[in-house]
Amino acid sequence: MGCGHRFIGSWSTSIAGRWLWGGMGRSWLLLVFVVVSWSFPSCSATPEADALLSMASSWGRTFPTWMGSDPCVNWEGVTCSSGVVIGLSLGSSQLTGPVPPAIGRLTSLTSLDLSNNAIRGPLPPEFAFLQNLQVLNLNRNPLNAPFSTEILQLRNLTELRYDVAGVFGLIPNEISNLNKLEILFLGNNSLVGPLPAKSIGSLVNLKQLTLWGGSFKSPLPPEFGNLVNLQYLNMHTSTLWGGLPPSWSNMKNISRMLLYNNDLTGYVPSSWQALTTLKQLHVGQNALSGSFPDWLVNIPVEILDMSRNSFQGPFPNLSANLPLVNATSTNMSLYCNYFNGSYPTFQLGNLVNFTGNCFTNESTRETDNTRNTCNRPFFCRDFFMRLEDGCAPCPAGNYIYDNKTICTCKPADYVDQSGGGGGFPYGEVIGGIVGSLALILALVALCKWDPIHKRLPFDPFLLFSTNDDDEDWDVPEGVHRFTMAELSKATGHFDREHEIGAGGFGKVFFGTLADGKMVAIKRASTTSLQGQIEFRNEVNLLSRLHHRHLVRLEGFCEDEDLQILVYEYMKNGNLGEHISRAKGSNVLSWYKRLEIAVGIAQGLDYLHSFADPPVIHRDIKPTNILLDEHMVAKVADFGISKATFDFDTHVSTRPAGTAGYLDPEYFLRRQLTTASDVYGYGVLLLEIVTGQQAIDHSRKEEFNLIEWVRPRFRERGVEVIVDAALEGNYDKDVFTDMTNVALMCASFNKNDRPAMKDVVSYLEPHVRMFQSLSGSNTEAVSSHISQLRGSDLERLTRPNPNDYLSSQQFMTVPLHTAANDYSPFNTRRPNTFS
C-alpha cells in the first residue's frame, strides 16, 4: 500500500469525531479534505525506489516484488541498512541493454552484482557516483567495451569481478588507484599487452587475481612478487613468455597458481621452495626445461601439472612419507616430458601420468634416425632431445636471451614498451642504417651535380632500382625458398600420379624432397595468380602462423611466373574422407572425433585471437581439415583467407565459401566476421557427430543438416542423430554437449554465437579428463565424469560469489545441458571481433 493510502487509514478513526465537533456547517470541508488526501498522497516513493524502477524499465524487466514505495520492504535482490539501499543482486536476471544512468542515484551501494546477463557497455558516467561501492560483479556480460574509466574512480572497491565480460584493449595503468582490491578477476576477455606490471604489482592487498585468456604477449612480471598476500593466481592461455620470476618466491601465501598453456621457458627457480603453502601448481603446456625441482617433494602440493614441457633428467626417488607423495597420490601429471632413467616404481595411484617420457624400462619407439628413442604419444609436443648450448629449443619465433644458464627465451619481434634493455637493439641498427643512407645520398647527389648543364631532377630512389625485385624483400626466417627444379623433381615433373587435390587456388601435389621429406605442393592456377606484392605478403603472413592445429608452411617457390606454396604433408588426408569413409577408411571412434573437434577449435581460436594480424578463414569445411600420421587435426587453406587489422566491426566483401557452411548473415550483409568461421565450425561439428554431409539431397526429410538435426535433437535427444556407424559406442553426455555447442555456433544471428575461445573452454575439459584418466577403462572414465557432473551441477548453475573458482567455470568439467536446450552458455556469448 502506498504512502497516501496509509495516511488516509490513520485519519479514518478521527473523521467521525471531527464531524460532530465541527457541526454540520463544516462537513463539506472535511469531505474536500478526504478527497484531496486520497488524490495526493502525503508522501512519495523514495528516490532510491524511483531509481530502481527506472533501471528495471530500461532493462525491460518487471520484478513482481518491486511494489510500493519502499525498496527496503521485501524487494527482490535489494539489501538495505538503516533504511537505505546498500546492496543490489541481480545476477542471472535476464537483463538486456546498457546500464542505465539512474544507477548513479544509488550512492549508498556497497555491493552490486549484475553478472550473467546480457548487459552491453560502456558503463555510464554516472557509475562513478558509486563511491561507497566495495564489491562489483560484472562477470559474463557482453559489454564489448574497453576497461571502464568509471570503475577506476571507485577507490573503495575490494572486489572486482570482470571475467568474460567482453573487455578489450589495454589494462590501464590507473588500475593502481584501486589499492584496496583483494579480488581482481579479468579473465577470458580480449585484453592485450603489455601488462601494466608495476600498477598491478602495487595492489599489495590482492588475494585473488585472474588474467587468463588474454593476448598480453608479455613476460611474467617480476613485480608480481610484491603481492605478498596473494593466494590465487590464474594466468593460463595468455601468450606469456620468458622465465618464471624468482621474485615470486615472496608470494608466501600463494595456494593456487595456474600458468599453463603459455610460452614459458627456462628452469623452475630454486627460490620457489619458499612457496610452502602451494596446493595446486599448473605449469603444463609450456616449454619449461631443466630437471625436476628436488625441493618440490617437500611441499604438500595436492595437484601438480608439469605436463607437455621439456623437463629432463632422472626423476627423483620418492618415498611414501614425502609431503608431495602424500598430497598428490592421484593428481600428478608429468606426461610428455623428457625424464629419463628408470621408470618410477613408487605407488601413487592410477591417475598419476608419466606417459610420453624417456624412461629406460618403458616401451619406446624410434622417432627418426637422427634422434634418440623415446616414447612420444601423438598428443605430445614435437620430439627434440637435442640441446642448444645446454638449453632446450625455444618455441617457434623465440630466441634465447639473458643468461643462458637459465635457458629463457623471448619472441624475436618483441620490443620492450617500458624502455628497458635486454631486447634486440632495433634502435641502434635502424639509426645506423638511416645515417649511412643519408651519407650515400649526399655523396651521389654531389657527384651528379653539374652547375653548367641543366639536368633532370635527381631521384635518389633510382639508385636502388634493379631488375631483381628480390633485393627489396627479405624472405621470412624459417621459410625455405624452393627452386622450380627442386619441386619439379620432387613431383615427377608435376605428374598426374602425384596430384592429390584441387581447389580454388589451384592443384595440389605430393612430393618427396631430396632429403626424403614428404611435402604437399600447392600450385596456383593462372586464374588465381596474385600480384607479386600480394603473394609475398601472403608468404610473410603464413610464416608467422605457428600452431599445433594449423598446417605448417615449409616454403614457397616464385619462379617462371608461377606461385607455389609448400606445406607439410598430411598422411591421413582430409576429415571429409573419414566422415564419409569415401576411401574405405576406418570408422572414427567417438573419442577421436572429440579430439579432432577440439583441435579444430583451438586452431581457429589461434587464428582469431592470437595471430598478428588476426585471420578469418572464410571456408571451414571437412575437406579443409587435414589429418597427420597420428590423426591430429590441422586447419588448412587459411593462407587464402582474409587477414586484417580492422576486426572491430567487420570486413566487407563478396560472399565466398561453400554451400552449407556459409554464414547466412555474411551472405545477406556482405559483412565478414569471426562469427562466420564459428558458423562453419558449428556445421562441421554436426557432421562429426552425425556422420552426415552439410547438404545432402538424398536426405529426403531435410536437405540442410542443421534443420535436420535441430528438431530431432530437441525432441528425442542425441541418440537419433548420432552416426550409426558408431554402433552405440560413444559417450552420450559428451556427444550431447558437442551437439549443444554445434547448434549454438550455427545460430542464424551472429550475436547468438559463442567466440571460438568459449568453444575451446567448453569442449577441451572433456579431452583433458579422458587424457588424465587414460590408464582407466572407458566405463570407469564415464562413471568418473558423471560423478563430477553431478557434484558440479549446482556450482556451475548458481555460482557462489565467495568461490574464487567461479572465474574458471568454463575450464572445469562442463555442465550437461538438457537436450531441448541447445545453448550451453549461461548468456548470449559476446563475439570478440563481431
Task: Give the C-alpha separation, 354 to 337, whole Å.
Answer: 9
Amino acid making up residue 738: M
Q: Is residue 11 exposed (0-12), middle (13-18) or buried (19+ Cβ within 10 Å)?
A: middle
Residue located via cell numbers 595446486: 280
Closest CA to 327 of 298, 292, 291: 298
Task: Give the C-alpha separation, 267 to 392, whole Å.
Answer: 10
CB distance 197 to 174 below 8 Å:
no
Q: Is residue 83 exposed (0-12), middle (13-18) or buried (19+ Cβ within 10 Å)?
A: exposed
Beta strands in 622-722 (DSSP E): 625-627, 633-635, 642-643, 651-652, 671-672
Closest CA to 567 of 641, 482, 475: 482
Give the residues across from 519 on adjacent strands.
511, 568
Q: Is 694 helix (H, G, I), strand (E, B) or coil?
A: coil
Amino acid making up residue 576: G
**Kind of pairing, strands 256-258 and 280-282?**
parallel
Catalytic residues: 619
Show binding-site residues for ATP.
522
| Phi, then psi, of 668 in degrees rounded to 5 | -75, -40
Task: Give the C-alpha separation, 574 to 738, whole Å.
Answer: 21
Which residues, other chains included, contact 114 with Cβ-Cβ below 8 Å and sequence gap of 6+?
90, 91, 95, 99, 137, 138, 141
Which residues, other chains included, contact 9 with Cβ-Cβ below 8 Å and sequence gap of 6+?
none
Residue located via cell numbers 555491493: 111
**What is the DSSP-derived secondary structure letter of residue 298?**
G
| Phi, then psi, of 302 in degrees rounded to 5 | -80, -35
Amino acid making up residue 7: F
Closest CA to 822 of 741, 761, 760, 730: 741
As given in the structure block, the three cell numbers for residue 545 are 602462423
**Kind of pairing, strands 303-305 and 280-282?**
parallel
| Phi, then psi, of 567 in degrees rounded to 5 | -115, 165
Task: Give the C-alpha separation, 725 to 631, whole Å.
Answer: 19
Show binding-site residues.
522
Helix axis angle, 732-745 to 590-605, nearest 10°: 30
Q: Characterize 282-319 residue by residue with b for buried, 16 or more Cβ atoms within 10 angstroms of its Cβ, and e for exposed.
A: bbbbbbbbbebbebbbebbbbbbbbbbbbbbeebeebe
Closest CA to 758 of 785, 740, 772, 773: 740
Task: Give the C-alpha separation, 594 to 579, whole Å.
Answer: 13
CB under 8 Å, gap of 24 or more: what pairs does 695-700 form?
695/659, 695/660
For the chain, how far is it from start to end, CA to CA, in angstroms? 48
Integer angstrom CA distances of residue 289 from 247, 269, 308, 664: 19, 11, 10, 48
Tally Cβ neighbours within 10 Å of residue 627.
Answer: 22
